[in-house]
Amino acid sequence: MKALAIIAIGLGSLIALYNWATVYLSWRTKKFVSSIPIFGALFLGLGLIFFEKTRYYALLCLVADYGTLILIASLPRLIKEECKTSNFNLIQTFAGKSKCTEYVLKLYKKGLFVIKVEVEPSQRVNGHGAKISQFGFIGKWEEDKGTIELKEYDGNRKAKLIESNGKYLVKEANYPIDRQYKYDFLDGIEFISLNKKKIRNKEFTR
């Protein structure tokens, strides 16, 4: 068991050293180098706990490993972002479909919207043959007299969902004119609401 504990300490230390090295590499190369969270602290902590003289210092593994440290520091923000798009904050869901694309639009409290798109078969996105099978947008929304406006997504693009006979037709503005492959063009897409209740309370968008 002692041998396993020593191996765990050694492995955890190596991962922790690599994670701290990613900080330098990111600064040196001006490109983000990903660290490995949890595992360095986990192995290091388990190894330290085994020995009586070191077990009291086991919690220091949380700060000794940069990958785990940055994850812990990011948890409040990650939890907050996750809560924003939880079902508890969901107001209304829409579904739309075109020839080869299916759309799901969700409106959340605080004026946040998310669009998730599935493409079948996958569509070309550039002249190099790259294809895409799913993508999405996140932005802000507001409602006025039955018209839902989507904004602040993919640059300065905007779109309005205009209600007519229980359906919502998309009219999009500011689509990039230099974009050759218009796989993500929303104009003309028809959505239907999957919720029975209509949006009536503007407080949802504040």
Candidates 131, 113, 129; CA nearest to 121 is 131
What are 103-162's pLDDT values in tens digits? Answer: 999 999 989 999 999 999 898 888 888 889 999 999 999 998 879 999 999 989 999 999
What are 17-75's pLDDT values in tens digits? Answer: 999 999 999 898 888 888 999 999 999 999 999 998 898 989 999 999 999 999 999 88
pTM: 0.67
- In terms of pLDDT, which residue wins out, 2 or 157? 157
